[in-house]
Structure formats: C-alpha cells, structure tokens
Chains A and B, each alone.
Chain A
C-alpha cells in the first residue's frame, strides 16, 4: 500500500534562517506531488506541484521554492524565512491523471 512521510512534524526557526522540509512517498511510481500551506487551521493553499523529477510548477509568488530530486521525494525550501512563512505545511500525492489526493501529516512551522 502507498504511504507518505513528511518531516519534521514541528519546527521553530528564527527569521532569516533557511528551511528544508522533506516529503517521500512509498508504494507508487511517478506520483504527482504537491505542497500546500494551511493558515490558522483552515483553507488549503496550493504552493507547488510536480508531475515528474525536476518538474516544478509554482502556484503563488512567495519566499519558498520546491525541488524534486527523485521520483518520490519532494522538498520545500527557503533561503531566508520570514515571519509570514509560519503555518502548517502539507505534502500530498496523487496518481498521474487522477485527482484523488492523499496527504501527509503536516509540518507545523513557526518562524520567530
């Protein structure tokens, strides 16, 4: 069966520090991968999606970037965090050509 792993679960980082969040999927090949941000426990905003290795599409302009170095690995990064980057970050995957998406357990990021 397919599983998705996302870490760390919580993270407190100072303003101006770098960020790296990692997501991996097991049990499937060539998944579509997504990064969402959720503010205040409501409303999922799509940040990035990827349909293959090295292929990244950005949905909103921001201080973050994403990379997909391997088929089932998706990384969310920032060179310098802002206070406004605080939030709950969720990774998700779906099978190519279908919209049924499955989410990881999320990372709570607090920028101080």
Chain B
C-alpha cells in the first residue's frame, strides 16, 4: 500500500518568514495530493490540493509543488503569520480505493510574533 513520509515533524519560524513542509510517497500510481491544516481541538481543514497533471498550484500565501519523478511534494507558506500556527498534514491518494487517503504524520508549525 501507499506510504507517506512527512518532514519536519516540528517547524518554528518568525512571523514574516517562509515555511516549507515536505512529503514523499511510495506509490507511483498516486495522483492526488491534498494538504490539511488542523488547529487545536478541531478537525483537519483542506487548505490546498494538487493533481498529478500539474507541477505547482498557488492560493494567495500558500503554494504546493509536485515532483512526480522523485515522488515528493511540498507545501510552501510565505509571509507567515501567528494564525498559521497549527498542525499540517499531507496526504496521497492512489485513485483506486473509493477515495481513501494515506496521511503523513503531521508537522507542528509554530509562528512566533
């Protein structure tokens, strides 16, 4: 089955800096890669996603890049703000099993004011 590795497990940045979180996946058949943000005590919220037919997608301060050859994808947050502090999860879907996603272990992002 699919295996998703996420790094780093914790990330601390100063407000205004950029933050990058990286994930690798094992199944070359995977073709959909979402990113979720989870605030304390709440459910994960989908913030951006990318499909395998594109290499990059941007939404304001958030961008995701995908390298299918290397089987890795990354989340980039620019001009970080304290409210970006949360746990971020990447995930991958191989397109074969009714939308089952395999998640990374999460990154705790702390943005210091």
Contact = CB atoms under 8 A, between A and B. Distances in A.
Nearest to A101: B101
B60 to A, nearest CB: 19
Contacts of B89: 44
Contacts of B36: 103
B44 A103 contact: yes
Given A42-B106, A99-B32, A99-B34, A90 B100 contact: no
Contact of A44 (B42, B45, B103): B103
B113 interface: no
Contacts of A49: 98, 100
B101 A43 contact: no
Nearest to A103: B43
A96 B100 CA distance: 11
A46 B45 CA distance: 17
Interface string A31-48: 010100000011110100
B87 interface: yes
Chain A binding surface SS class: strand
B46 A41 contact: no
Contact of A41 (B43, B87, B99): B87
Interface in B42-101: 42-46, 49, 87, 89, 93, 95, 98-101
Given A42-B87, A44-B89, A98-B99, A90 B46 contact: no
Contact of B34 (A51, A90, A100): A100
B106 A94 contact: no
A95 B54 CA distance: 22
24 contacts: A32-B99, A41-B38, A41-B40, A41-B87, A42-B87, A42-B105, A43-B106, A46-B100, A90-B43, A95-B99, A96-B99, A97-B99, A98-B32, A99-B34, A99-B93, A100-B34, A100-B99, A101-B101, A103-B36, A103-B45, A104-B43, A105-B42, A106-B42, A106-B43
Interface of B: 32, 34, 36, 38, 40-46, 49, 87, 89, 93, 95, 98-101, 103, 105-106
